[in-house]
A and B are shown apart, each in its own frame.
Chain A
Amino acid sequence: MNDMSIMERAVSQTDIKISARDVQVWYGEKHAIKDVNIDILDKTVTAFIGPSGCGKSTFLRCINRMNDTIDICRVQGLIALDGEDIYDRRVDPVQLRAKVGMVFQKPNPFPKSIYDNVAYGPRIHGLVRNKAETDEIVEKSLRGAALWNEVKDRLQEPGTGLSGGQQQRLCIARAVATQPEVLLMDEPCSALDPIATSQVEDLIDKLRANFSVVIVTHSMQQAARVSQKTAFFHLGNLVEHGDTDDIFTNPQDPRTESYISGKIG
C-alpha cells in the first residue's frame, strides 16, 4: 500500500502538465513564435532562455492567455493543460488564469494593503467564505513566499511601500494564494538586487514541491541554478529543450552552444 503511493508519486512527478504542439504566434504581420513543440512537467521548474526578442515571454503569455488582451496577437496550434486545449472556444480565460498564475517582470502589487493584495485572488474566486479563512490563506501564502516574518506586523500597510524584492515576493504570494497548478514567471528577478534574487530563487525551488513552475530568464546562471528543464528559444524557434544539465554541458545545436558560451545574444 505504502509502496503504491510512492509509485503513484513517482509517476505524477513526471506527469506532463502542459503540452504545446505546433504553436504559432503572430503580432500583426510579425511571426513571433514558429512551430513550438514542448512538454512541461508537473512539479518541475522549466526555464526558458534565449536572447531578447526571441519569443520566450510571448510563449509564456500564451500559456495563461494573457496575449488575449493584445488585439493584434493571433495564436495557432494546440496548448493543452492536463490534456485540455486552453484555446478551446468553451474555455473561459478567467478560469484558466485562476489555474495558471503569473508573476511579472516588474513587481506590480496592487496599490492596496499587503493583506488585500494577497486576499484579492481568493476573494474573487470564492475560495474563502469568511475572515478567518481569508486570514489563514493570507498567512499561508505569505509564508509560502517567505515573506510572512517580514510583514506579519504590518499587513494593513500598502504593498507598494515594500522594497523591490519584498514586492516581488508579495506578487508571488498573491499568485500562490489563488492555489494555481502552474506558476508562470516572466523574468521575476530582473528588477531585483542579488540578495533579493537569491531569496526569490530559493523560493522558486520550494514552490516546485507544489506547482509546475515556468520561468523566463535572461540569466543563464539563474536557469542553471533553479531549473531542472531548460528550453532555448532563438528568433521565435524553440531550438532545443531538455534537462538543464544536458543543455548547459552538452548542447546539441550550435546556436545553443554559441548562446550559452556568450557568442550570440
Chain B
Amino acid sequence: MTDLSASGAARKSSLVTLDDRTRRRNAAERRFRAYGVAAIATAALALAILLVTIVGNGVGAFRQTFVTIPVTLDAQQLDPAGNRDRGEMSGVLTLAYGGLLNQSLRQSIEGAGIEVEGLTDRDIDDLISKDAPAQIRNRVLANPDLVGQTVEVAVLTNGRVDGYYKGRVSLASAANDGNTSPQQLALADALKERGLLATKWNWAFLTNPDASDQRPEAAGVGIAILGSLYMMLVVLFLAVPIGVAASIYLEEFAPKNRLTDVIEVNIANLAAVPSIVFGILGLAAFINFAGLPQSAPIVGGLVLVLMTLPTIIISTRAALKAVPPSIRDAALGVGASRMQTVFHHVLPLALPGILTGTIIGLAQALGETAPLLLIGMVAFVRNFPAAPPEGLFDPASALPVQVYNWTQRADPAFFERASGAIIVLLVLLLCMNLLAIYLRRRFERRW
C-alpha cells in the first residue's frame, strides 16, 4: 500500500509535457497514417499511368485518315446488264470497284497538279485501303441508283499513311517498309495540303467487324460489342435468377446441416476456381457433349453464367445476412409466413446489396477472356450475328477476346485498335459501376 502511493507520487508529471510512452505512441500513429497515404498515392498513380497509357494509345483508334475524292461509278463496269438488279450487280467483284477507285484517285492527283518525284503507280494504288473497294461496293449494292453518277466519297487510306499522321510511321521508317514508301507519304502530304486528305472522327471503329491482317484501318469492335452484349444477356437472364433464388433458399429456408455446409464450402471454392477451368468445362459440356455451336455467344454466356454464379450467390447471401434478424422476428411475430417474411421484408432491404453484387458479377463476366478462348470466341468473324434469340447461336467475338486477338497481330496499327477496344471495354465497365452506385443510392433506406 505504501509502495503504491510512493510510486504514484514519484510518477506525478505535468499534462503539458508528453512522456516517452505517449510520444512513441503518437509517432507510431503518424507513421501508420503516412503508410496509408503512401499506399493510396501508389494506387492512384498506377491507375493514372494505366489510364494515360491506354487513352494515349487507344484514342487514335477513334480517328482515322480518309481521302475524299469524286468517283465516277461507271455503269458499264458495275452493271453490265444495265437493269440495276441487286442480284446481278452482286456478281461484280470488289476488283472492279478497286479499279474505279484507283482511276479516280489518279485523276484527282492530276487535277490537283500534284507531282511527286519517283512516285510509282503502286504507291498511288496502295494509298487507298484494301477495304475501301468493298465499302464502295456495299454502298452501291445498298443503293443501285448511284450507278452512273459521280459521287464524292471519303475512303480509308492504308494503315501506314494513317500511322504517319498519328506519329507511328516516319519518312525514315517508310524507306525500309515494304507496305509504304517515302513517295507515298509525300503524296499524302500533298493531298492533305490541298484538303483532299484528312484525319477525322471514325464511328466505324464502333460499328465495323474485325478486319484481316492487311487492313487494320478497317477493323472495328462492332461484332465484339454485340457478342459481349449477347453474353451479358445470357448471364443476366440465367445467372441472376438462379443465383438469387439459390441464395434465398440457402440463407432463409435451407436447414443448417452437413449437406448445406458442404454446399456452402463448395460455392466458396467455386468462386476461387481459375476462369480457364470453366472454359474447359464449357468446351466439354456445351460444345462436345451438348453439341452447341462454337464461337457462339450462347456458349460463352453459359460459361460465364457458371463463372458468375458463385459471385452472385456469395454477395446475395451477404446482403441477406446483413438484414437485421429483428425484422424477421417482427414479421414472423405478426404471423407472416416464411415466404412473406422474405419477400415483403427481407428482400427489399437486401436489394441494394444484391444489385451491387449482381452488377459486379456481370462486370467481371464482361471482362473475362480466358474461358472464351477455349470455346472459340477468338475466331475471326466478319458477319454480324442476327438479333437475339437466334443470334445467340451465331458466331461472334467478345471485347476482351478482341483485345487479345489484336495484340497478337504483327501490324502496330492493331495495337492502337487493341487500346481503343480497351477504352470501349472500360467505358462499358464504368457505366455498369455507375449503374450499381445509382441503384444502391436509389434503393438504400427507401421507406
Contact = CB atoms under 8 A, between A and B. Distances in A.
A125 interface: yes
Contact of A97 (B326, B327, B333, B349): B333
A110 interface: yes
A34 to B, nearest CB: 25
Q: Identify which of B324, B330, B332, B336 gathers the most chain A CB atoms within 10 Å of its CB.
A: B330
A64 B349 CA distance: 26
A15 B271 CA distance: 60
B345 A110 contact: yes
A178 B330 CA distance: 13
Given A69-B328, A104-B326, A158-B447, A111 B349 contact: yes
A218 interface: no
Contact of B335 (A97, A108, A113): A97
B120 interface: no
Given A108-B330, A113-B447, 9 more contacts: A64-B333, A94-B337, A95-B335, A98-B334, A104-B333, A111-B349, A111-B445, A120-B344, A174-B330
A142 to B, nearest CB: 15
B447 A97 contact: no
Contacts of B324: 108
Contacts of B331: 110, 120
Q: Identify which of A95, A104, A110, A113 gathers the most chain B CB atoms within 10 Å of its CB.
A: A110
Nearest to A118: B334
Interface string A165-179: 000000100110110
Contacts of B53: none
Contacts of A110: 327, 330-331, 345
Contacts of B340: 124
A108 B445 contact: no
15 contacts: A66-B329, A69-B332, A71-B256, A94-B335, A94-B337, A97-B334, A98-B334, A98-B335, A102-B333, A111-B327, A111-B349, A112-B447, A120-B336, A124-B334, A125-B335
B332 to A, nearest CB: 6
A64 B447 CA distance: 29
A109 B330 contact: yes
A94 to B, nearest CB: 5
Nearest to A107: B326
Contacts of B82: none
B255 interface: yes
B447 A160 contact: yes
Given A71-B255, A71-B256, A124-B340, A104 B334 contact: no
B159 to A, nearest CB: 60
B334 A175 contact: yes
Contacts of B345: 110
A178 B334 contact: yes
A124 B334 CA distance: 9
A185 B161 CA distance: 84
A42 B328 CA distance: 28
Q: For chain B, give the interface size range.
A: 20 to 34
Contacts of A77: none
Contact of A104 (B256, B329, B344): B329
A108 B332 CA distance: 12
A160 B324 CA distance: 14
A169 to B, nearest CB: 14
Interface string A121-132: 100110000000
A124 B332 CA distance: 11
B329 to A, nearest CB: 6
Interface in B283-331: 324, 326-331
A53 to B, nearest CB: 19
Contacts, number: 67
Given A106-B326, A108-B326, A110-B327, A66 B445 contact: no
Interface residues of A, number: 30
A113 B445 CA distance: 12
A55 interface: no
Nearest to B257: A71
Nearest to A103: B333
B341 to A, nearest CB: 10
A134 to B, nearest CB: 15
A125 B333 CA distance: 13
Nearest to A71: B256
A247 B389 CA distance: 76
A101 B333 contact: yes
A94 B341 CA distance: 11
A254 B268 CA distance: 55
A133 B4 CA distance: 75
A124 B329 CA distance: 16
The 9 A-B pairs at the shortest CB distance, nearest first, are namely A98-B335, A108-B326, A102-B333, A121-B334, A97-B335, A111-B447, A108-B330, A158-B447, A94-B337
B330 A101 contact: no
Interface string A146-161: 0000000000001010
A73 to B, nearest CB: 12
Contacts of A160: 447
A174 B334 contact: yes
A171 B330 contact: yes
Interface in A15-72: 64, 66, 69, 71
A111 B352 CA distance: 14
A120 B334 contact: yes
Contacts of B333: 64, 66, 97, 101-104, 175
Interface in A180-228: none
A130 to B, nearest CB: 20
Nearest to A69: B332
A121 B336 CA distance: 7
A69 B341 CA distance: 12
B336 A124 contact: yes
A101 B326 contact: no
Given A71-B256, A113-B447, A124-B340, A178 B335 contact: yes
A102 B331 CA distance: 10
A177 B333 CA distance: 12
A113 B446 CA distance: 10
A243 B333 CA distance: 28
Q: Identify which of B255, B256, B334, B447 gathers the most chain A CB atoms within 10 Å of its CB.
A: B334
Q: Identify which of B255, B324, B335, B445 gathers the most chain A CB atoms within 10 Å of its CB.
A: B335
A183 B332 CA distance: 14
Interface in B99-143: none
Contacts of B445: 111
A98 B332 CA distance: 9
